[in-house]
Amino acid sequence: MPHDADRLLPAAPVTSLDDHLAAGGGVGLERALSLPPEEVTTLIDTAGLRGRGGAGFPTARKWRGVQQTAAEAGGVLTLVANAAEGEPGTYKDRVLIEQEPYAFLEGICIALHATGAQTAHIGIKEKFTGPVTRLRAALNEITAAGWPGADRISITTGPDAYLFGEESAMLEVIEGNLPMPRIVKPFEAGLHATTTVPNPTIVNNVETLTHVTSILAHGADWFRQAGTEVSPGTMVFTVVGDVASPGVYELALGTPLRTLLEDIAGARDLKAVYSGVSNAVITPALLDTPLCFDAMREAGVGMGSGGFIVYDASRHIVDVLSVLVNFLAVESCGQCNACKLGNGAMADLLARVQRGEAEQTDLEALLRWSQSVTDQNRCYLPVGSQLLVGSTAAAFVDELVATVASGSPTPADLPTPLIEAIDEDTGEVRYHPRYHLKQSDWSYADEEPGALRLEALRER
C-alpha cells in the first residue's frame, strides 16, 4: 500500500525502537522538549493540524481549551489516545499501530509535554490482539529507553462496542464502567471528575497524535506543503466494498475523492458511498469534491475518519441502508429513548421492506422516525442515523418507492462493514464474522444474554 504521499505509513513495518530512530524517529520529541510547552502548541496551530478521529476539530484549539478549563476550574489534566477504531469502513489506526507504533507513542509524549497532562491512557479494543501486543512491546521499549513521559502512559483494553470510541464513553471504560456516553463532554468533565473538580481530559485520535510527531520533526511549513489551506497535511484513508483494490492509502488532503475511489481503489459503476455511519450518502455527482473537511461539509457530506464504504450499481439501496441503520440500532446504548426506539423502529421498517412486506406508509414512518431519533440525544450516534436515512431517502426515493410497490424481497446479502482485517498482500477484506448475531442489548444470539465482556473492561 505505500504511495508517494506517504508520511505516516512506512515503506516497511518498523519493528524496533532502533529502526524508528534510524529512520529519523525521536527528533520530534527532542525538538518538543527543547521548546517551552506553549511553543509546541503554537507549532501545531501554525501547521493547522485538524483531528483525524471524525470531526476535523483543530488540535491546538482543543489542547488550549482544555488547559484553560484546567487552569480556571482546577483538577488533573489527562490525555486519552483514542484507538478504539469502531467506525464501519475504517482500519487505518490499526495499520498505523502495527506498522509504526513508535511514532504514535512519540506523539503522546510530545502532547504530554505540550499540554502539561499528567498521564496518558490509550483506549484500544481488547479484540485487536495484534495491535495491542505491538503497542505493549513498543511502550516497554520506550520506557526502558527512558523517553520522558513514557512511564506515564498506560493501555486500557475495552469492549467490542461502537460507543467505546465515543470520547466520553471511553472515559467511562477507563474508569471501569460500560461504554455509556456522558452528558458532559471530556473537556468539561474528564477522568474521575467530581462536582467540584472537573479534571478536564483531552481526547485525540491515533492518527492525529502520529501527525504531531512529524510536525515537530519536520516543521509546520513542511506539513503545509501537502493539503489545502484549511485542511493541511495528509490523511490515511480506508476504502472497502465494491472496489478492485480495497486498502489503506495515505493522500494529501484536497485530493479529489474520485482519485481515491476510482483511480486508486478501482471503483467502477459506483452508486452510493458512505464515509462511516455518521454522514450523508455520497452520490457519483459528488466525486469531484476535494477530500477537505470544509469542502466535504459544504457539499453536504463529511469525511468522518476517512473510511469509505463503496456500493456499486449491482446493490439494492434498501439493503445498504438496512445494514447501516441496523448497526446503529444495535450499538445505541439506550440512555436516550428517542435514539434506541427510533433506530430500532427504522431497522425494523427497513427489514420489512427487504422482506417485500412493506407499504408506502412505512416509508413515511421511516422518515418521521429519522427526524425524531435525535431528540434529547447525549451523543452524536443518532445524528448519524438521521443523516444516513434522510440523505439516502432523498437521493434514492424512486428506488425505495418502487421496491415497496413491487412487494418483492431484496437480496439482503450485505455484511456489516466492520473491518476485522485487510490482507496487505491480497487486498482481501474480512468483516466482523459474527455481527449478524449481535443484539440490541449487545449480547450475541448464540451466547447467554448480556454477555458483553465485562472482564474486558476490568483488564488493566
Contact positions vs ligand SF4 (CB under 6 A): 163, 181, 332-336, 339-340, 377-379, 381-382
Question: Does position 57 bind ligand FMN by CB under 6 A?
Answer: yes
24 sits in the region (left: phi over 0; alpha: psi -120 to 50; else beta) called left
Q: Which is nearer to ligand SF4, 142 or 381 (CB)?
A: 381
Question: Least Å distance between CB 165 and ligand SF4?
Answer: 12
17: which 3 cell numbers? 525502537
Chosen from ligand SF4, ligand FMN, none, partner binding at 274 (C-beta under 5 to 8 Å by type): none
- Our CA angle for 306, 310, 311, nearest 5°, is 160
Question: Does position 165 bind ligand FMN by CB under 6 A?
Answer: yes
Question: Does position 124 bind ligand FMN by CB under 6 A?
Answer: no
Chosen from ligand FMN, ligand SF4, none, partner binding at 319 (C-beta under 5 to 8 Å by type): none
Which of 232, 263, 253, 258 lies closest to 306, judged by CA?
253
Centre a 10 Å sphere on the Cβ of residue 141 and count the other Cβ atoms it contains. Answer: 18
Residue from 82, 157, 213, 403 binding ligand FMN (CB under 6 A): 82
Q: Which is nearer to ligand SF4, 238 or 332 (CB)?
A: 332
The three-state (H, E, C) secondary structure of 62-91, written as one string: HHHHHHHHHHHHCCCCEEEEEECCCCCCCC
Chosen from ligand SF4, ligand FMN, none, partner binding at 378 (C-beta under 5 to 8 Å by type): ligand SF4
What is the C-alpha separation between 241 and 229, in angstroms, rounded? Answer: 31
What is the C-alpha separation between 157 and 138, in angstroms, rounded? Answer: 16
Q: In which residue are the cell numbers 427487504 written? A: 354
Question: Does position 262 bind ligand FMN by CB under 6 A?
Answer: no
Which of 358, 388, 355, 353 lies closest to 370, judged by CA?
388
Question: Least Å distance between CB 338 and ligand SF4?
Answer: 8
Chosen from ligand SF4, ligand FMN, none, partner binding at 290 (C-beta under 5 to 8 Å by type): none
String of contacts with ligand FMN for each residue 353-392, x by CB under 6 A: --------------------------xxx-----------
Written as one string, the DSSP assignment of 317-385 is HHHHHHHHHHHHHHH--SSSHHHHHHHHHHHHHHHHHHHT---HHHHHHHHHHHHHTTTT-SSSHHHHH
Question: Least Å distance between CB 334 and ligand SF4?
Answer: 5
Residue from 204, 255, 377, 403 binding ligand FMN (CB under 6 A): 204
Question: Least Å distance between CB 167 and ligand SF4?
Answer: 12
Question: Does position 208 bind ligand FMN by CB under 6 A?
Answer: yes
CA 338 distance to own-chain centroid: 24
Phi, psi angles (nearest 5°) of residue 427: 75, 5
8 Å CB contact between 286 and 262? no
Chosen from ligand SF4, ligand FMN, none, partner binding at 23 (C-beta under 5 to 8 Å by type): none
Which of 123, 130, 120 lies closest to 84, judged by CA?
123
Q: Which is nearer to ligand FMN, 259 or 335 (CB)?
A: 335
Question: Least Å distance between CB 405 and ligand SF4?
Answer: 33
Q: Which is nearer to ligand FMN, 173 or 243 (CB)?
A: 173
Q: Which is nearer to ligand FMN, 55 or 287 (CB)?
A: 55
Report the interface residues with ligand FMN, using CB under 6 A. Answer: 51-55, 57, 62, 82, 84-87, 162-163, 165-167, 203-205, 208, 379-381
